[in-house]
Amino acid sequence: MFDKTAIQGAYFALAAYLFWGVMPIYFKAVAHVSAVEILLQRVLWSVVLLVAILVYKKQLYQLKIARNKLGLLFLSALLLSINWLVFIYAVINNNIVEASLGYFINPLLSVFLGMIFLGERLRRLQWLAIAIVICGIGFQLAYFGAIPWIALVLATSFGFYGLIRKKLQLQSIAGLALETLMMAPFALAALLWVYQRGELKFGQVDITTDLLLIAAGFITSFPLLCFAAAINRLSLTAAGMFQYIAPTVALLIAIGLYHEPFGVDRLITFSCIWLALVIFTLETLHHHRKLTAQGKMLS
Q: What's the helix, strand, coil split of the chain in %, to 5?
A: 80, 0, 20
Three-class DSSP category at 185: helix
Instruction: Determine the pLDDT at residue 296.
Output: 64
Instruction: Determine the pLDDT at residue 235.
Output: 67
List, as own/partner pairs, every contact residues 2-9 make where C-beta atoms lie below 8 angstroms and the sequence separation is at least 24, other chains included: 5/233, 6/233, 6/234, 6/238, 8/229, 8/233, 9/229, 9/230, 9/231, 9/232, 9/233, 9/234, 9/238, 9/239
Residues, the chain: 299
Q: Are 284 and 240 in contact (CB under 8 A)?
A: yes
How many Cβ atoms from other residues are within 10 Å of residue 124's Cβ?
8
Give exposure, 57-92, as e/b (b: 16+ Cβ within 10 Å).
eeeeeebebeeebeeebeebbbbbbbbbbbbbbbbb
What pTM value is reported for the model?
Answer: 0.87
Listed as ranges, residues in the chain with pLDDT below 70 are 1-2, 235-240, 292, 295-299
- Tell me the C-alpha distance between 36 and 133, whole Å: 31
Instruction: Determine the pLDDT at residue 236.
Output: 59
pLDDT digits (tens, 9 = 90+) for 224-236: 888 878 877 876 5
Domain locations in the chain? 4-298
